[in-house]
Chains A and B, each alone.
Chain A
Amino acid sequence: QQPVQSPQAVILREGEDAVINCSSSKALYSVHWYRQKHGEAPVFLMILLKGGEQKGHDKISASFNEKKQQSSLYLTASQLSYSGTYFCGTEIRGNKLVFGAGTILRVKS
């Protein structure tokens, strides 16, 4: 049931773009994205709901393909502060989130 995230890790230079993917083998009601910095708690970025509604962050965008059970997180013009581990959480049913293994993003100056 755990969604699969790709890539596992990515290194960028400041100003570069990145895409993080999340896919599930089950039909999804919603996809959540969180970022966790080392030693800190996960912080909410984005929710994508079945039917197209999005709630999220002003500098980060995401897509949700309900038919393919996939979501992608788009980070544009990356900044040093974007570094961290990105988790997608998928809601299959039962109102619980199952998180992927995470994607480590490191932005270098």
Chain B
Amino acid sequence: RKEVEQDPGPFNVPEGATVAFNCTYSNSASQSFFWYRQDCRKEPKLLMSVYSSGNEDGRFTAQLNRASQYISLLIRDSKLSDSATYLCVVNRGGGFKTIFGAGTRLFVKA
């Protein structure tokens, strides 16, 4: 089993749709959590950090449930430009390793 598991995707949604991505992590020593976005043939870039209290950035909302070891990303009012791969990322303490999920591909169609 992988340490960080994501929905396999791809997700194909129309513009304006709401889409949710899920991610689970297996190591309870994980200390910080992020969502990254990777466009085709580009490097990953930070989309947002994920805090225990939940956090929102415009159309994007991230949630963390430490008890269930589960992270989510909600995108409201999807735009064509949201089409990308979304990576769930976990920083594990005790030697500090950054673990990337395999990513979930999103296609937003007109």
Q: Do A and B come from one complex?
A: no
Residues of B at under 8 Å CB distance from A?
none
